[in-house]
Amino acid sequence: MDFRNRHVIVTGGAGALGTAVVARLIEAGALCHVPCLDDAEAARFRLRDHKQVTVTVTGSLADEAGIEKLFRGIAPLWASIHTVGGFAAAPLRDTDLKTIRQQLDMNLISCMLCCRAAVRAMTGAGGRIVNVAARPALEWRTGAGMTAYSASKAGVAALTAALAEEVAKDAILVNAVAPSIMDTPANRAAMPKADYTLWPKVEEVAATIAFLASPENRVSRGAIVPVYGKS
């Protein structure tokens, strides 16, 4: 895949999946723009000093001001990849309103605002948008015990399919991946007795994202691609 001289935004780029996506893209020649919540997150990002990476401290991407700061001045924008998000597990009866709103903001609102900004930037030139849903976004019953998270990710899936239809004639292809539990240090720590060999690696999920965001993807749109590994 050839991303040479193509500008790509990767939200959540300092996280486990986001870092794997950025690493894959810079190997392919992309110029990556990575927003960070604050200076501490920027300092933790191991690829921050790479010559093909630009880090911007934006604050929350559920805030229109943060989105404006991120997208301002990036032209031409080829792809916008949205891996930023958050997870909270609890039965709905035990979930307070603050957590419900947090899940919607972190997973759905941030994705929707970034999609809107990306479409505005790409109109007239075309491009690629890739979102990150989750397995419960496709298999709703698997979201029991994490209802707020599952609903927010199902919203990402619906957003992806509807927006893909909306902008197809603008040569903007919109897709999403839906991972199961990924093999990350945080997930291993949370589930020490799990069989990690069944989980998809972040590098494997990143490979699927990179293809969907690439010029080589000429026809796929509106897909919510399961990336479950063996789980």
The domain segmentation of the chain, as residue ranges, is 7-180+209-225
CA 2 to chain centroid, in Å, comes to 20
pTM confidence score: 0.97
The CATH code of the domain at 7-180+209-225 is 3.40.50.720
Q: How far is CA 155 from CA 12, 23, 179, 221, in A?
A: 18, 28, 15, 17
Q: Which helix (H) or strand (E) holds 157?
A: helix 147-167
Per-residue pLDDT of the chain (231 residues; tens, 9 = 90+): 899 999 999 999 999 999 999 999 999 999 999 999 999 999 999 999 999 999 999 999 999 999 999 998 898 999 999 999 999 999 999 999 999 999 999 999 999 999 999 999 999 999 999 999 999 999 999 999 999 999 999 999 999 999 999 999 999 999 999 999 999 999 999 999 999 999 999 999 999 999 999 999 999 999 999 999 998
H helix intervals, 11-96: 16-27, 39-44, 64-71
